[in-house]
Amino acid sequence: MANVASPYGFTPISDQVGVSPRRVRIPNGIVSGQAGNIFMGTPVTINPATGTLLPVTANTQRIFGIFSGVEYTPVGGRPTESPFWAAGTVWDPTYDFFAWIFPAWMPSTRFQVQADGSVTQGELGSGFNITNFAAGNTFTGVSGCTVGAAGVAAGLQAQFTLTEFYDNTGVTGTIGDAFTDLIVTVAYPQVGFGGQTSIG
């Protein structure tokens, strides 16, 4: 329920062009041994020095995609699939390694996310930035990141734009709930279309 803080990161739900969002496979997408967890539903960016993925950790960072898991073989282990990257994992370079993301360069892709507070009707069309960047559950692998309920002032660049409220029927949530569930699109992609500033 949106009256309880129950964040789940960014969940792709649909695309306005009428197709289901499709994951993209990134070969060798994370540096072996990389520190820090990357949970399913966490926005990621490309490290330009290595061409590998890193979690977004600042509101000034552009978004390449939403993380959706890994496939790899650990050193001395068996082939593994995981919904998240566990910090410090070392993978065997003699086998394939793939990271999966939902791309952020498709401006019509819609993501569901929970705000860290109440979002009102008047904030429709406003920009929002990520909060609780590193939060997540190492048992389920799901991200606990949210967006800041206060939104971003008019004319400033935001990471996401609020385009709809999730289920405003009152069945699972209503506009202005204590932790409002939102439907957003990417406003600050790392590649592809240009950024979109907030309407305030």
| Residue 190 C-beta-side C-alpha neighbours within 13 Å | 21
Give me 70's structure tokens. Answer: 């890994």
Does the pLDDT value for residue 58 go beyond 80?
A: yes
- Mean pLDDT calculated for residue range 7-28: 91
Strand, helix or coil for residue 123: helix
Does the pLDDT value for residue 1 go beyond 60?
A: no
Rounded distance, CA 180 to CA 17, Å? 26
The reported pLDDT for the residue numbered 173 is 82
Tell me the pLDDT tens digit for each residue of 96-149: 999 999 999 988 999 999 999 999 999 999 999 999 999 999 999 999 999 999
Sign of CA dihedral 30, 114, 197, 185: positive
Q: What is the pTM of this model?
A: 0.95
User: Which phi and psi (to 5°) does residue 20 adopt?
Assistant: -80, 140
Strand, helix or coil for residue 199: coil
- Mean pLDDT calculated for residue range 30-54: 96
Rounded distance, CA 86 to CA 91, Å? 11
The reported pLDDT for the residue numbered 167 is 84
Torsion of CA 111, 162, 15, 108, to 10 degrees: -120
